[in-house]
Amino acid sequence: MLSAARVSDPLILHNCRLLTMDAELTDFSGGWIEITGDTITRLGMGTPPPGNRMDMGGDLIMPGMVNPHCHMSMTLFRGLGEDVDDRLFRYILPLERGLMTADLAEAGATLAAVEMIRGGVTTVADMYYFEDRIGQVIDRAGMRGIVGQTLANFEAPDHKTMDEGFARLDALADLYKDHPRITASAAPHAPYSTGIEVMERVAAWSDAHPDSPVQMHLAETKPELDWAAEQGATTVELTDRAGLLTDRLIAAHVMYPTEDDMDLIAESGTHVAYNARSNGKAGRGVAPITALRARGVQVGIATDGPMSGNTLDLFSQFAPAVMFQNIAQGTRSALLAQDVVRMATIEGAATLRMDDRIGSLEPGKQADLIRVSIRDPRQQPIYDIYSMLVYATMPTDVQATMVAGHWLMQDRTVATLDVDKTLADFLQTARLFKINMAKLDIGS
Amino acid sequence: MLSAARVSDPLILHNCRLLTMDAELTDFSGGWIEITGDTITRLGMGTPPPGNRMDMGGDLIMPGMVNPHCHMSMTLFRGLGEDVDDRLFRYILPLERGLMTADLAEAGATLAAVEMIRGGVTTVADMYYFEDRIGQVIDRAGMRGIVGQTLANFEAPDHKTMDEGFARLDALADLYKDHPRITASAAPHAPYSTGIEVMERVAAWSDAHPDSPVQMHLAETKPELDWAAEQGATTVELTDRAGLLTDRLIAAHVMYPTEDDMDLIAESGTHVAYNARSNGKAGRGVAPITALRARGVQVGIATDGPMSGNTLDLFSQFAPAVMFQNIAQGTRSALLAQDVVRMATIEGAATLRMDDRIGSLEPGKQADLIRVSIRDPRQQPIYDIYSMLVYATMPTDVQATMVAGHWLMQDRTVATLDVDKTLADFLQTARLFKINMAKLDIGS
């Protein structure tokens, strides 16, 4: 087993552009940052303090990125049925019901972890099945994560009854009770696919587990709106009545809220995950992200699963995240580049209620950071560092990734997972998966 | 001076996935392609013919990409005033009037050439000033290009009167009359900024130079529509009346055509350059690309200038190009991934009327191709090669770039331009430019 390289104490990274993402957006050229154990102890600019110094060669050091909505295991489905509008019922549910196993979920999630570490994501909120195995992957990868047991009224690959589903959730919560980097979470699929009764049961579970987040797709599709309308309410209202709109909820998508819905979301402290590429590829329109943020809602930039948005880094989300808002509002300034980087770091951390520990580079916070090369011709010149990150930086520019003071990657070599073996194992799994998919005649 | 590595004849690239982009979208696994001089002579799958063989290690070989609308020199402005709606009048025109010189234009274009070669673009249509110098850059880089002399009714950095502008255009046409890879072009800025009289003069010039394309921004902005409305017509109608709507025209943007305008564009054989990121960042809405293509209009995927779209590779344009159409039409299938790759290659070549020579890998065509790594974890698995290229491939995956049988890059090392020196020179130029910009108090 590989393991994350432990730094000698204290470690000082210097000769870097230090983008702290603190409340004042402090940004040091010629900066340094001191890390003791898993914690940032000091930072500044100019001559670094003595100690175990590492020269960053002028690269950018910024907080590790937070991905608040993902289905890591679905790398197995990446690229399937791209142009099929009803993919959930034609591909995803039959595949999950017929083929998904704990081993497949783990193989898919391991590839996803490699991609995220290489793309600068240090924290992920995942919702899927067999999340005990996903937690093992995140743990082995050295990342930080939230693992969400999906609960829904369709046949699930990891439980047959709702009681079994909740038993899995309890076991998951027990398993990760004291883990320093992993938290268990309930993940009702969506209001229409979970149903009021189960949503209420999740709400009761959540009240009894106030430190666990809840993850749910919300106001994502038109059929969901129709389902709610039949009950004389909006899907957000039904979610609220079931007791799920709280500051523990990470609501993914939120494409179609009414003005009143947005007020409800804001007043309840509900958080939102913005999945720009997923929404755009699906042709679902533009989520009212700026209207939500104007109400004080914390919004993170998310990838969604790789079957929906394909890539699992946040850089790929940045330009679409802005462009959709700009197009919807007919201006260049609906969402600023610095807002996007905020949403990928400190605001994303806030959506997971982890902004006291991660999301910015400040003394006392966990040492979750990435080193990004900013010398590619494509990135020059730099008039505005946020614009450069949002519009001209690629996941392949990430040179190193650190979580809790451990290097997960240096010089683009992943330390915690064997990339070649992960890819070879994954491709073998994917080959069998394709064969079995053909047997089930799915997607045709 | 560096120079493109000349291949020994014939050269056989083998052990590759060969994406030909021919009319049948022939796609060989375990393919090979034979290049003799500047020309593709044979291709196939299985055992390659004897000769000077190069093993491609399972990478993808596809046609070099065609960028039909760019302002290469504007790398100097990249990242400036991102959130300022009226950038043309607040930044661009004052900067060009006050500061742009032939040396600056060349420095900016050289950086752009490096980025394009590294990102897989082999042919570019550029419109700007000092295009004799841009032609020198394209020539030195070993790329293929169209260089367009901008003509407009605002003060230009390279000519004081319209007569001088046309004299420059004539000189440019003369300079590149017999060049195998570079063609001169007239580039009226846009209908509103050129005026009917000059547009008519350009049309007459174009009739006398039928082998030269014409490049123009068309139906790009709302003020342009207002200007035309004051004359009782659409901007496309006025362009048609001036004699410019022909199959020689590469019309950039075409955001706001009426149904009748689209008919006019189709009937005249006018070509369109789709600049998704530029349009999206500007919040201008969604160009009716699928409606144009349904009428038989050839559309290429373009970057626009780096002040507008930031990056100069086409991979960065792919996902936005699809997503905007999908959002506008509320479906996943408005534009298919294979359509996008077509538009970046053979259809892009057709917009420049060069599809008889480039844009697909077929015997008799010029050997313009790129080698793309397809083994990154982020690209796996591959259910559909076009989907993988459009949604999961980065410009940094391009390993090698060839134009007319010459390698411009191998193993990501550019052969024709010194990347370190280009970047150092550019940064020195950019520093002085920033100082001079501050003196002019531009953008404040």
Tell me, yes or no, if B436 comes closer than 8 A to chain A by beta carbon. no
Tell me the DSSP string of B143-198: -EEEEEEEE-SSPPSS-SSHHHHHHHHHHHHHHTTT-SSEEEEEEE--HHHH-HHH
Tell me, yes or no, if A253 comes closer than 8 A to chain B by beta carbon. no
At A257-272, the pLDDT tens digits run: 999 999 999 999 999 9
Q: For the sheet containing B121-128, what is the strand order?
A: B65-70, B121-128, B144-151, B182-188, B214-218, B249-253, B271-274, B299-301
- Is residue A198 within 8 A of residue A153, CB to CB? The reply is yes
Domain coordinates in residue numbering, chain A: 5-63+359-411, 65-351
> What's the CATH architecture for A65-351?
Alpha-Beta Barrel (3.20)
Mean pLDDT of the A342-359 span: 98
CA A92/CA A98 separation, integer angstroms: 10
- Relative to beta strand A144-151, strand A182-188 is parallel
Residue in B with minimal Cα distance to A391: B310
Q: What is the structure's pLDDT at B444?
A: 62
CA B331/CA A285 separation, integer angstroms: 10
Residues whose CB falls within 8 Å of the CB of residue A39, separated by 6 or more in sequence, listed in order: A364, A365, A366, A367, A405
The CATH class of the A5-63+359-411 domain is: mainly beta
Q: What is the structure's pLDDT at B25?
A: 98
Residue B67 is encoded by which pair of tokens? 């960028």
Low-confidence ranges of chain B (pLDDT < 70): 1-8, 443-444
Q: Given a cut of 70, is residue A327 above it in pLDDT?
A: yes
At A163-178, the pLDDT tens digits run: 999 999 999 999 999 9
Quote the Cα angle for B104-B109-B111, to 5°: 100
CA B328/CA B350 separation, integer angstroms: 26
> What's the gap in Å between the CA of B427 and the closest CA on chain A?
7
Closest CA to B56 of B356, B387, B398, B419: B398
> What's the one-letter identity of residue A385?
I
Q: Counting one residue from A and one from B, how many pairs have CB atoms under 8 Å apart?
A: 209
pLDDT band for A440, please (50, 70, 90 cuts): confident
Closest CA to B370 of B408, B336, B342, B343: B408
Name the residue among A310, A323, A434 with its Cβ closest to that of B320: A323
Contact A326 B430 (CB under 8 A): no
CATH of domain B5-63+364-414: 2.30.40.10
- Is residue B404 within 8 A of residue B180, CB to CB? The reply is yes
Residue that wins the pLDDT comparison between A94 and A348: A348
CA A426/CA A99 separation, integer angstroms: 15
At A127-155, the pLDDT tens digits run: 999 999 999 999 999 999 999 999 999 88
Q: Given a cut of 70, is residue A1 above it in pLDDT?
A: no
**Residue A410: C-alpha distances to residues A110, A369, A379 (Å):** 18, 12, 21
Mean pLDDT of the A218-227 span: 96
Tell me, yes or no, if B88 comes closer than 8 A to chain A by beta carbon. no
What is the overall mean pLDDT for chain A? 96
Rounded to 10 degrees, the C-alpha dihedral B307/B308/B309/B312 comes to -50
Q: What is the structure's pLDDT at B3?
A: 58
Name the residue among B83, B391, B422 with its Cβ closest to that of A310: B391
Q: What is the structure's pLDDT at A277?
A: 97
Contact A285 B327 (CB under 8 A): yes
Q: What is the structure's pLDDT at A5?
A: 61
% of chain A exceeding 70 in pLDDT: 98
CA B275/CA A311 separation, integer angstroms: 22
Give burial (CB, 10 Å; 0-12/13-18/19+) of A36: middle
In chain B, which residues have their Cβ closer than 8 Å to the Cβ of A111?
Answer: 377, 380
Could you give the ipTM of this predicted complex?
0.96
- Is residue A312 within 8 A of residue A278, CB to CB? The reply is no
pLDDT band for A351, please (50, 70, 90 cuts): very high
DSSP secondary structure code for residue B49 in this structure: P
